[in-house]
Amino acid sequence: MADAAGSPSPPEALVLEGISESRTFWQDARRRFFRNRLAVLGLVIVSFLVILAVFADLLAPFPYDFVRFDRVLKLPFVFPENPLGTDEVGRDYLSRLIYGARTSLIVAFSVQGIALLIGMPLGALAGYFGGRVDFVITRIIDIMTAFPSLLFAILIISVLGGGLRTIIVALSLTSWIIIARLTRSQVLTLREQDFTVAARALGAPEWRIMMRHLLPNALTPILVAVSLGIPTAIFAEAGLSFLGLGVNDPIASWGKMVGVSNAYVRVYWHLALFPTLAIALTMLGFSFLGDGIRDALDPKQER
């Protein structure tokens, strides 16, 4: 189920070892997911976006950086080759919208990936070892929570100086917190459970217990958090680009397109309309999908 969305699916072997009834659990989850109409709609939208992002070079009528100075700021359908019009530099707006999907998804997946890489180990360490380790990590989490994440991202970008990579770093710095916190609380509850205690009694090394037993079991809520974190990251990228702190030109970003459109909107409405629609559709798609995954994996939790 998660394959199409590109979310990391847990390695089957680990899951099997962790909980014996996992096969039926995943089967159930899949059934629940596909019975949810909104979730399927979300999956369709997200699949569509992924296809746009991956095959942008084939799908876009023009390269994202191709300019024609005789076609600057043309409204939609003035020229049939530019069905969504052209932008303020003379580039085909449809093509830039398609490439914008790529930017959004690169940022979103990278940010969540890094968040996982930082948040899971830290959270697991804190939860498993407790004591001083837990204290330090929890304090770090506390401090990072106190930062208004957008203001923090703006400050980081002003230090590191903009661009795609900086945005990813700036957003990752705050997005690992929720993962770490989740992992910690999951590991906290799991480490006292029978299979952990048994493994420990059998003399399995600590890191092995953690890798083989605790993390896979903590995976479900983390997967949910990631699937809901993706739209947050897309929103943040769009927001920062909207403020002019985003990716370099000529890379296309929906947020940047909306930000620029503000000065043109009184006459050239198309500059604002299409990228806002794209952002809205993407956010809806990922939210539906995320909610669907949550409901499927965690049936107890009410919406």
The contact set with another protein (CB under 8 A) reads: 65-67, 69-70, 72-73, 88-91, 138-139, 141-143, 146-148, 150-151, 154-156, 158-159, 161-163, 181, 184-185, 231, 235, 238-239, 242-244, 248-251, 258-269, 272-273, 276, 279-280, 283-284, 287, 302-303
Side chain identity at residue 200, one-letter code: R
Give the single-character DSSP code of 302: -
CB of 22 to another protein, least distance (A): 28
With respect to another protein, which residue has the nearer C-beta, 91 or 294? 91
Nearest residue (CB) to another protein, 25 versus 235: 235
Q: Name the residue with tokens 């030109």.
A: 249
Nearer to another protein, 12 or 249 (CB): 249
From the CB of 204, what's the least distance to another protein, in Å?
Answer: 26
Choice between 192 and 302, CB closer to another protein: 302
Q: How far apart (Å, rounded) are the C-alpha atoms in residues 84 and 98? A: 11
d(CA 175, CA 215): 19
87 residue type, one letter = D
- Shortest Å distance, C-beta 146 to another protein: 4
User: Other C-beta atoms within 10 Å of 149: how many?
Assistant: 17
Residue 52 or residue 245: which is nearer to another protein going by CB?
Answer: 245
Give the integer Cα–Cα distance in Å for 120 and 103.
25
To another protein, the closest distance from the beta carbon of 91 in angstroms equals 8
CB of 17 to another protein, least distance (A): 29
Smaller CB distance to another protein: residue 20 or 248? 248
Q: What are phi and psi of 41, to 5 degrees?
A: -60, -45
Looking at the Cβ atoms of 21 and 69, the one nearer to another protein is 69
Residue 176's nearest CA partner among 244, 114, 263, 245 is: 114
What are the Cα distances from residue 192, in Å, to 127, 198, 238? 11, 10, 43
* C-beta of residue 255 within 8 angstroms of C-beta of residue 241: yes
Min CB(228)–another protein separation in Å: 11
Cα–Cα distance, 280 to 244 (Å, whole number): 20
Considering the complex, what minimum distance in angstroms separates the CB of residue 32 from another protein? 19
Cα-atom radius of gyration of the chain, to the nearest Å? 22
Three-class SS state of 293: helix
